[in-house]
């Protein structure tokens, strides 16, 4: 009896370990989250709402605010005060000239604290720029995020949460310039060879960014993002001594939640539409392409289908002619669309003769005139 109970307990432990899966991951991080960048769905969370300092991951907001101001190719002259800062640097020199875009690469690849000062100084001044950063946080609903500076050096009220940092990153990744900069592994600009501090770009398949950070107070902070099979995941860890390994595992576990789903095959009949004035009352609609998506089981159950096209069509309908589109969506989020065409020909019924014509035909028939030669 005891042996059976012991075996039962072992199997139960194995079952729960497998079921919990990712709940055992990233335990070296004080706070962690994995977020679906497209849907905002949380795929993993560990103290995700704990308010913590974020070191140089601050520069995600710095870059975003500068990019949204525009004019990235404007040339400026480096002021001495931009170079007077501690920590990591892109090694700006007083008097040299470069563009805001060049400086953004130095900010995000080399984590230049001097680059952050230069961007703030050239984008309205330090005080106004930090205010812009905080205004942007409020606009995005990041209630527990506050900035004292553009570089991430320690401050009493300089903090965020893993959840909000992931949300900020999801928003920033929608910008083309931001994605291009943070996804660059190395580049040569403004006379400098810049190598991205983010090792995930070189060690993880599908990695597209985003930013590292470290101070003694904050510990190691990391925001990473990766794309696989059309899905984008963002992982954030704050105060994590084993962040590279944790992020690889977090992202792997996140992507494992998705599986391929075929929405329809090319040529498949996916609907019908009524036909007016035709030899048949309706015609089938064929899909143009094979559509496949990677979805979670929950998403698969939530898919809805909408048709873009007329509620009915007039004959004739010609096989292969364009009818409209089929739209797969979850709520307001469109997943995929495809072109719809008519599956076969539907001929038009010849119009019935009018009353006058029928009367003339009747009279002609009475007098045998219908067979007379004209």
Compute the chain's Rg from CA coordinates: 31
Catalytic residue status for 111: yes
Cβ partners under 8 Å of residue 173, min gap 6: 37, 179, 208, 209, 210, 225, 232, 234
Residue 254, helix vs strand vs coil: helix
What is the DSSP track for 335-370? EEEEEEEESS-BPBPPPPPPHHHHHHHHHHHHTTGG
Pick the catalytic residue from 25, 31, 88, 111: 111
Is the Cβ–Cβ distance between 31 and 52 less than 8 Å? yes
Is the Cβ–Cβ distance between 278 and 315 less than 8 Å? yes
Burial class (CB in 10 A: 0-12, 13-18, 19+), 313: buried
Catalytic residue status for 284: no
Catalytic residue status for 56: yes
Pick the catalytic residue from 31, 56, 88, 224: 56
Q: State both tokens at 130.
A: 């930090």
3-state SS, 165-179, equals HHHHHHHHCCCHHHH
Q: Which of 57, 15, 33 is nearest to 153 (CA)?
A: 57
Residues recorded for the chain: 374
Is the Cβ–Cβ distance between 107 and 189 less than 8 Å? no
For 21, half-sphere exposure in the C-beta direction (CA atoms, 13 angstrom radius) is 14
Is the Cβ–Cβ distance between 5 and 12 less than 8 Å? no
Distance (Å, rounded) from C-alpha 295 to C-alpha 336? 12
Pick the catalytic residue from 25, 59, 136, 211: 59
Q: Which of 194, 192, 236 is nearest to 213 (CA)?
A: 236
Long-range contacts of 295-304 (CB under 8 A, 24+ apart): 295/258, 295/259, 295/261, 296/41, 296/257, 296/258, 296/259, 297/259, 299/39, 299/330, 300/261, 302/330, 302/331, 303/263, 303/328, 303/329, 303/330, 303/335, 304/328, 304/329, 304/330, 304/331
Q: Active-site positions?
A: 56, 59, 111
């Amino acid at each position: 009896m005891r042996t059976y109970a012991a075996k039962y307990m072992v199997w139960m432990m194995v079952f729960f370990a497998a079921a919990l899966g990712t709940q055992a991951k990233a335990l070296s991080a004080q706070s962690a989250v994995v977020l679906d960048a497209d849907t905002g769905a949380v795929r993993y969370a560990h103290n995700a709402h704990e308010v913590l300092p974020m070191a140089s991951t601050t520069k995600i907001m710095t870059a975003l605010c500068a990019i949204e101001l525009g004019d990235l190719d404007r040339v400026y002259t480096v002021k001495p005060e931009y170079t007077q800062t501690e920590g990591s640097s892109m090694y700006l020199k007083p008097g040299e000239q470069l563009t805001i875009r060049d400086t953004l690469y130095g900010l995000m690849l080399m984590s230049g604290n001097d680059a952050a000062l230069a961007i703030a100084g050239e984008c309205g001044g330090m005080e106004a720029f930090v205010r812009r950063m905080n205004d942007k946080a409020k606009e995005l609903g990041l209630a527990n995020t506050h900035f004292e500076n553009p570089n991430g050096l320690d401050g009493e009220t300089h903090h965020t949460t893993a959840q909000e940092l992931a949300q900020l990153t999801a928003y920033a990744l929608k910008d083309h310039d931001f994605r291009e900069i943070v996804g660059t592994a190395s580049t040569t600009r403004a006379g400098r060879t810049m190598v991205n501090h983010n090792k995930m770009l070189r060690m993880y398949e599908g990695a597209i960014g985003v930013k590292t950070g470290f101070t003694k107070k904050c510990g190691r902070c990391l925001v990473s993002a990766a794309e696989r099979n059309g899905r984008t995941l963002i992982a954030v860890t704050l105060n994590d001594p084993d962040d590279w390994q944790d992020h690889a595992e977090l992202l792997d576990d996140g992507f494992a939640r998705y599986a391929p789903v075929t929405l329809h095959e090319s040529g498949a009949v996916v609907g019908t539409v009524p036909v007016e004035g035709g030899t048949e009352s309706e015609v089938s609609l064929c899909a143009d392409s094979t559509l496949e998506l990677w979805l979670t089981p929950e998403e698969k159950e939530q898919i809805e289908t909408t048709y873009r096209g007329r509620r009915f069509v007039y004959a004739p309908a010609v096989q292969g002619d364009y009818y409209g589109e089929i739209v797969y969506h979850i709520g307001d989020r469109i997943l995929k669309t495809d072109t719809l065409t008519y599956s076969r020909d539907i001929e038009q019924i010849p119009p019935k003769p009018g009353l006058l014509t029928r009367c003339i035909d009747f009279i002609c028939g009475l007098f045998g005139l219908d067979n007379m030669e004209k």
